[in-house]
A and B are shown apart, each in its own frame.
Chain A
Amino acid sequence: MPILRCIQDELGWVPRDCVPMLAEILNLSRAEVYGVVTFYHDFRHAPPGRNVIKVCRAESCQAAGGVALAEHIKRRLGIDFGETTHDHAFTLEAVYCLGNCACSPAAVIDDDLVGRVTPARFDEKIAHLNRPDR
């Protein structure tokens, strides 16, 4: 898993081509490696957009306006969870608890955790995003 993590940190996703290579190096079957890659939600199977937005959908955030926030973000970006915009600017991912429940609702914008997110605060945050292509 630390190897897969390194690959994803470097590339932003885990390309399918890595599987046979890793299997050979680690003396595992390709099925075993593929099984691990597909089991964990963190590992992406396609390149993400330049900016990755993760929104918490768990109970504490639901209780504090998280559902309306998620709807706003989907509308604002024009995509659903698990999708990337056509211009590859944004990928929207769902997460289930960021441990920031006392500051609900929470989201992660690129690598920054943001608490007490309102639709207005979200719009303000993404207005400044300008991450260069990977």
Chain B
Amino acid sequence: MSEPVIFVPRDSGALSLGAESVALAIATEAQRRGKQVRIVRNGSRGVYWLEPMVEVATGGSRIAYGPVAAEDVSGLFDANWLDGGAHRLALGPTEELPYLKKQERLTFARVGITDPVSVDDYLSHGGYRGLQRALSLTSPAVVEEVVLSGLRGRGGAGFPAGIKWRTTQQTDASQKYIVCNADEGDSGTFSDRMIMEGDPFVLIEGMTVAAIAVGATQGYIYVRSEYPHAIRILSEAIRGAEQRGYLGSDVCGSGKAFKLDVRVGAGAYICGEETAMLESLEGKRGMVRFKPPLPAIAGLFGKPTVINNVITLSSVPTILEKGGAFYKNFGMGRSLGTLPIQLAGNVKYPGLIEKAFGVTLREIIYEYGGGTASGRPVRAVQIGGPLGAYFPEAMLDLPLDYEAIAAKGGLLGHGGIVVFDDTVDMLRQARYAMEFCALESCGKCTPCRIGSTRGVEVIDRIQASRGRSKSDSAALLRDLCDTMTAGSLCALGGLTPLPVMSALRHFPQDFGLPANAIS
């Protein structure tokens, strides 16, 4: 019998709760007791209230324990956990956890299961099948497979990925680039980080497929500096892929070259905007560019560039392996495939939930999330990061679908959901949205640069004034938001009005205004 394998996550979230000292305690305790064990540092399964969640694999199945503290380790050995002994932290087989069992994991199929930096592990769990198929097709056929799948940009804008690829593929140039947007700055989102830390090869494979499809030979992953673990794991995985011939001058013996490098941001939210990111990659201030020209035609260093989010690119291997038609079977309307939903804020069971589009907010927040962590009623939910709208509890039957949410004045964005209980002050949330915009504005467009600061002042005036002066200030805030929406180049200035106006529309009492003050 081979030695038991113990999985201790190296995901940032697990590490922030002490996974490192748990791994150390397990190694020390096993040695002290003369037990042979192999410790694998996997990604996170995304059940964060159970982190650090340790899994023991003996024979065929993996048994989960969590949340494990370093002090629990000795007791776990006493309970004979290597042979499935009973313990108060035992959760049963990981696959049977209802939170995981009900999901439809395509992009996250391997996250938390494999060793993120082992090429062999990736291969033995179905990795690189998408690339093999892509190499057997012509470039336009690869692009058409992605078009067929209906895959839309998961970064927030929801633009069809295949159309972008087609544009770059059809543009003649001496050099083309693939840029992965890993500047995941939205609060309440962490799926990019989980992929980069838990299954970096799926992203590398997706980028390689994109490169082959459009004829690019150089790729960059622009990672925010707040993600040091992701940067380390990605770099390690890229080295592994190079050594095995999956990256480099001759990808899998196809004669095609693709080189991949990691670039690190420096704490600027605006660099998640694709043109600001290109400026930053070129070593400049992250100022937003005018479009056109589209980056797909004239992007990085003026060359045709495909820019996609981490999740978009990581969805590509499944699409190539199983076909665009398979992927298209998931989802609803024009939102096809699956969405990795990130549930956070004041919620009992926060984590990563990958489901087909169309699942309702209520289902996610109550059936998965278990309601608020504080036990108080849910009052507001923000979807899609700091530029997403706030919705009241009464609107939670909304399905997660790009069009359905847009129709209600919100945006799905990167799929982050932040839950607030009834202690939230929505005037303060609206003020924060303006403050954040002022802080992160690149300064190019006046409505965003100055309007955001004026917005903070107007909201303060609404709070401080009464009667006529209050309603006048509210009207002024609406005008200001209209100007920002219409007069900003990018989503920062253009969408900051969403959280502000949705707070005002759905929660006028927090502003001291009568219901229906703003229609």
Contacts and interface: CB of A to CB of B under 8 A. Distances in A.
Interface in A18-56: 32, 35-36, 39-43
B189 A99 contact: yes
Contacts of A43: 266
Given A96-B440, A103-B13, A104-B345, A59 B188 contact: yes
A1 to B, nearest CB: 6
A101 B382 CA distance: 13
Contacts of A126: none
A24 B229 CA distance: 34
A106 interface: yes
A41 B280 CA distance: 13
B429 A36 contact: no
Most chain A CB within 10 A, of B185, B188, B346, B432, is at B188
A119 interface: no
Contacts of B286: 39-40
A35 B280 CA distance: 12
Interface stretch (B55-63, B87-95, B220-228): B220-228
Given A5-B264, A101-B416, A95 B226 contact: yes
How big is chain A's contact interface, by range? 35 or more
A101 B344 contact: yes
Contacts of A79: none
A55 to B, nearest CB: 13
B298 interface: no
Interface string B279-304: 01001111000000000000000000
Given A59-B187, A99-B193, A36 B284 contact: yes
B359 interface: no
Interface in B243-286: 263-269, 280, 283-286
A63 B420 contact: yes
B36 to A, nearest CB: 31
Nearest to B44: A102
Given A96-B436, A99-B189, A101-B342, A41 B266 contact: yes
A39 B283 CA distance: 11
Contacts of B420: 63
Contacts of A106: 16
A129 B386 CA distance: 33
Contacts of B419: 63
B16 A40 contact: no
Contacts of A89: none
A98 B280 contact: no
B436 A41 contact: no
A113 B344 contact: no
A101 B350 CA distance: 8
A64 B350 CA distance: 11
Contacts of A61: 187
Contact of A101 (B188, B224, B436): B188
Contacts of A1: 263-264, 266, 280, 283
Interface residues of B, number: 59
A87 interface: no
B432 A59 contact: yes
A42 B269 CA distance: 11
Interface string A99-134: 111111010000111111000000000000000000
A85 interface: no
A45 B382 CA distance: 35
Interface string A64-99: 100000000000000000000000000000011111
Contacts of B436: 58, 96
B51 A40 contact: no
Interface string B343-371: 11110001110000000000000000000
B268 A40 contact: yes
Most chain A CB within 10 A, of B13, B49, B351, is at B13
A97 B267 contact: no
Contacts of A96: 185, 187, 269, 386, 436, 439-440
A99 B190 contact: yes
Nearest to B349: A102
Contacts of A32: 284
Nearest to B343: A102
Contacts of B149: none
A5 B262 CA distance: 14
B15 A113 contact: yes
A99 B226 contact: yes
Interface string B2-20: 0000000000110111000
Nearest to A3: B283
A95 B193 contact: no
B280 to A, nearest CB: 7
A125 to B, nearest CB: 11
Nearest to B12: A113
B447 to A, nearest CB: 20
B508 to A, nearest CB: 20
The 9 closest A-B pairs by CB, nearest first: A58-B187, A40-B266, A115-B16, A101-B344, A63-B345, A102-B48, A41-B267, A42-B267, A102-B350
18 contacts: A2-B264, A40-B267, A42-B265, A58-B188, A59-B432, A60-B344, A96-B386, A97-B186, A99-B190, A101-B187, A101-B189, A101-B345, A102-B13, A102-B190, A102-B351, A104-B344, A115-B17, A116-B17
Interface of A: 1-2, 4-5, 32, 35-36, 39-43, 58-64, 95-104, 106, 111-116
